[in-house]
């Protein structure tokens, strides 16, 4: 089996409702190591909810999650706290609105998770954080506060904060949609480099040109189900399903 064949996480039959609103209606979703999945679809189709379920921020009502380690969670059977924590620890999320702590410096934001949650030493976590900040061109901002940074810089810190947790899976929730157009490129550039480095990622995005360049697979969701998935060219240029064609016609 090649490195890219090994699944980091496989979700089967995932369901989630908020009251009467059946947001996820049986999502099958697996992510192989080194794969970059672009999750696309109309607003309200459930994309963010999938990411939040992958990251343990929402607990699905039903379905299963199977990890590379063999750990299996059956959500209908009330999984244990320990298993839900294992789900949460397997990934880190980069949020649309950055979600940095406003009263902490860049460095403090980045080492918070490794030190407080992962119980790593401040010295180790700081050394790692400095290396990662250097990598995204923000070494000189380590002692700045978020309000002193541009949106693009804040999102690069958001990405470094996610990387610092050394997750198996990186999740991006529309990482550039809150940015001014001239700042989008610098963030997409960092994500592109991470893809080249072999990080396993799921990216919810409306940037279809970017998805076409970077994704190994595009997943199109509508109405709480996966309508079709496949190679970027196949989904974005020659989709099979009418709903995918309609979506692309609307936004291209
Ligand atoms: P997308 O990311 O595709 O735009 P979302 O996953 O954000 O879609 O939302 C799908 C649906 O779930 C929407 O109808 C939204 O209002 C609803 N929803 C999402 N999160 C919650 C929540 N915490 N409470 C109630 N409804 C929610």
Residue in 64, 74, 67 with CA at minimum distance from that of residue 33: 67
* pLDDT the model gives residue 6: 65
> Per-residue b/e over 27-45, b at no fewer than 16 CB within 10 Å?
bebebbbbbbbbbbbbeeb
What separation in Å is there between the alpha carbon of 48 and the centre of ligand 1? 7
- Quick one: average pLDDT of 143-165? 97
Residue in 184, 194, 202 with CA at minimum distance from that of residue 135: 194
**Would the CA dihedral through 9, 14, 16, 22 be positive or negative?**
positive
Ligand 1 pocket test, pick from 48, 205, 224 with the greatest ligand atom count within 8 Å of Cβ, gives 48
- Check pocket membership of 229 for ligand 1, CB cut-off 6 A: no
202-243: pLDDT as tens digits: 999 999 999 999 999 999 999 999 999 999 999 999 999 999
141-151: pLDDT as tens digits: 999 999 999 99
Determine the Cα–Cα distance for residues 112 and 39; give it in Å rounded to an integer: 29
pLDDT range class, residue 1, cuts 50, 70, 90: very low
* pLDDT the model gives residue 90: 87
Strand ranges inside the chain, DSSP E: 7-18, 21-32, 36-40, 62-67, 72-74, 91-94, 169-173, 201-204, 217-222, 225-230
The pTM for the full model equals 0.94
* pLDDT the model gives residue 70: 82
* pLDDT the model gives residue 119: 95
- Quick one: average pLDDT of 31-37? 93
74-86: pLDDT as tens digits: 999 989 988 888 8
- Check pocket membership of 44 for ligand 1, CB cut-off 6 A: yes
Residue 246 above 90 pLDDT? yes
- Check pocket membership of 46 for ligand 1, CB cut-off 6 A: yes
φ/ψ bin of 93: left (φ > 0), alpha (ψ from -120 to 50), beta (otherwise): beta
- Check pocket membership of 96 for ligand 1, CB cut-off 6 A: no
Q: Of all protein residues, whose CA lies closest to atom 11 belonging to ligand 1?
A: 44
Residue 5 above 70 pLDDT? no
Ligand 1 pocket test, pick from 44, 53, 60, 243 with the greatest ligand atom count within 8 Å of Cβ, gives 44
- Check pocket membership of 16 for ligand 1, CB cut-off 6 A: no
Q: For the chain, what percent of residues have pLDDT higher than 70?
A: 98
- Quick one: average pLDDT of 46-62? 94
pLDDT range class, residue 26, cuts 50, 70, 90: very high
């Amino acid at each position: 089996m090649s490195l890219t064949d090994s699944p980091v996480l496989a979700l089967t039959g995932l369901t989630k409702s908020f009251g009467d609103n059946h947001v996820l209606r049986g999502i099958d979703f697996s992510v192989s190591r080194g794969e970059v999945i672009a999750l696309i679809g109309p607003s309200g189709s459930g994309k963010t909810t999938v990411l939040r379920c992958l990251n343990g921020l929402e607990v699905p009502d039903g379905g299963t999650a199977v990890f590379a380690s063999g750990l299996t969670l059956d959500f209908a059977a009330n999984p244990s706290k320990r298993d839900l924590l294992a789900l949460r620890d397997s990934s880190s999320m980069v949020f649309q609105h950055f979600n940095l702590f406003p009263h902490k410096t860049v460095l403090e934001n980045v080492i918070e998770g490794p030190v407080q949650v992962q119980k790593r030493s401040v010295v180790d976590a700081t050394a790692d954080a400095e290396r990662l900040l250097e990598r995204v061109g923000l070494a000189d901002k380590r002692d700045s506060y978020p309000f002193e940074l541009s949106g693009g810089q804040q999102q690069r810190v958001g990405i470094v904060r996610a990387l610092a947790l050394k997750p198996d899976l990186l999740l991006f929730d529309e990482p550039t949609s809150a940015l001014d157009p001239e700042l989008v490129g610098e963030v997409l550039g960092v994500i592109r480099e991470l893809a080249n480095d072999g990080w396993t990622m799921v990216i919810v995005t409306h940037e279809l040109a970017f998805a076409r360049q970077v994704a190994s697979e595009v997943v199109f969701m509508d109405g709480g189900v996966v309508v079709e998935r496949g190679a970027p060219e196949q989904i974005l240029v020659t989709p099979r399903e009418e709903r995918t064609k309609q979506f692309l016609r609307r936004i291209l």
